[in-house]
């Protein structure tokens, strides 16, 4: 579901499996707790191994974007797989400039 | 159209049941031999509707969610997600993309996703009584 790595001020969250309202809440708490302690400059959210997500997967990005901005850091979203592209474009999240 | 097959089930409005709800609907629809993409569209839409019932209908305080899935002769799938929660005051407003009363972690995209991923979405709601979301999608290859 979630693996966290920290290197060179970058906290990377490797997400996997199914992202919904239930799992996103658990993931969010873990990421925020780590970010609070480590104060990363960049939080990378890696969507490579996300098999399924509903709009909670977008909410997760929006919430982290806000949090990181408050801490003076930024968010990067990487490896969005083809089957999630429609959800991403529908959400308009690209306008935040976080998708790499 | 004549209903060929249907299933009904209900479960407590707990977020841990979101995965069960969409998977159960998908499992029932396997008899139509859907494509991965059709199945994913339906699972995503069911997930949005169920989450709405948990977060908004029952305000995370619990209750029962009722789902029915019907398949007609033309492979038209009708899914109803019903709750006996607080209802929606202004359905039009609730269906606007990015509008949410769910707080910072909710994207406000639930209905926009359902409308994009399904052929049709209907919402019936009575304040204080509950909400029924009806989702339809035709699962056939004669495009």
On whether the CB atoms of residues A50 and A87 are closer than 8 A, the answer is no
Closest by Cβ to A91, choosing from B15, B105, B109: B109
The structural domains of chain B, ordered by start, are 3-138 (3.30.565.10)
Q: If we measure between CA atoms, which residue out of B124, B117, B59, B54 comes closest to residue B91?
A: B124
Tens-place pLDDT, residues A7-43:
999 999 999 999 999 999 999 999 999 999 999 999 9
| Residues in chain B, total | 143
Give the domain range for residue A50: 2-96
A79 touches chain B (CB under 8 A): no
Distances from the Cα of B34 to the Cα of A53, B20, B41, B89, B99, angstroms: 19, 19, 11, 36, 32
- B130 Cβ neighbours under 8 A, 6+ residues apart: B57, B82, B83, B84, B85, B86, B87
Rounded to the nearest 5 degrees, what angle is found at the Cα of A34, between the Cα atoms of A28 and A40?
Answer: 105
Catalytic residues of B: 48, 52, 106
| Ranges assigned E (strand) in chain A | 2-7, 10-19, 42-53, 74-78
d(CA A22, CA B103) in angstroms, rounded, equals: 15
Interface test mutation site (partner A, options B20, B109, B112, B121, max chain A beta carbons within 10 A): B109
For residue B54, the chain A residue with the least C-alpha distance is A21
- B55 Cβ neighbours under 8 A, 6+ residues apart: A21, B102, B106
Distances from the Cα of B138 to the Cα of A28, B39, B48, angstroms: 36, 11, 19
On whether the CB atoms of residues B94 and B111 are closer than 8 A, the answer is yes
Position B102 confidence tier, pLDDT thresholds 50, 70, 90 = confident
- Count of CB contacts below 8 A, A vs B? 64
CB atoms under 10 Å from CB of A27, counted, come to: 22
| Residues in chain A, total | 100
Tens-place pLDDT, residues B22-40:
999 999 999 999 999 999 9
CA distance A7 to chain B (A): 27
Q: Supply the pLDDT for residue B142.
A: 54
First to last CA, chain B: 19
Across the interface, do A62 and B37 touch by the CB < 8 Å criterion? no
Q: If we measure between CA atoms, which residue out of A22, A36, A25, A27 comes closest to residue A4?
A: A27
Three-state DSSP class for residue A80: coil
Tens-place pLDDT, residues B41-97:
999 999 999 999 999 999 989 899 999 999 999 999 999 999 999 999 999 999 888
Count how many domains chain A has.
Answer: 1
Q: What is the CATH number of the domain that holds A26?
A: 3.30.750.24
Interface test mutation site (partner B, options A21, A25, A53, max chain B beta carbons within 10 A): A21
**pLDDT over 60 at B143, yes or no:** no
Tens-place pLDDT, residues A63-73:
999 999 999 99
């Amino acid at each position: 579901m979630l693996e966290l790595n920290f290197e060179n001020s970058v906290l990377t969250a490797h997400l996997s499996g199914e992202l919904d309202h239930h799992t996103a809440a658990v993931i969010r708490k873990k990421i925020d707790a780590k970010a609070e302690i480590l104060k990363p400059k960049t939080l990378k959210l890696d969507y490579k191994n996300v098999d399924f997500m509903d709009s909670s997967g977008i909410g997760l990005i929006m919430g982290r974007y806000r949090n990181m901005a408050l801490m003076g850091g930024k968010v990067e979203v990487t490896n969005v797989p083809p089957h999630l592209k429609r959800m991403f474009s529908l959400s308009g999240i690209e306008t935040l400039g976080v998708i790499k | 159209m004549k209903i060929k097959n249907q299933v009904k089930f209900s479960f407590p409005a707990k977020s841990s049941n979101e995965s069960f709800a969409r998977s159960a609907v998908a499992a029932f629809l396997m008899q139509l031999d859907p494509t991965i993409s059709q199945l994913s569209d339906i699972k995503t839409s069911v997930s949005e509707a169920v989450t709405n019932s948990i977060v908004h209908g029952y305000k995370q305080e619990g209750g029962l969610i009722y789902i029915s899935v019907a398949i007609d002769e033309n492979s038209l799938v009708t899914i109803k997600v019903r709750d006996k929660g607080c209802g929606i005051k202004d359905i039009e407003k609730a269906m606007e993309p990015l509008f949410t009363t769910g707080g910072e972690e909710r994207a406000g995209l639930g209905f926009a996703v359902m409308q994009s991923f399904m052929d049709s979405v209907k919402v019936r709601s009575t304040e204080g009584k509950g909400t029924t979301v009806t989702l339809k999608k035709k699962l056939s290859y004669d495009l």
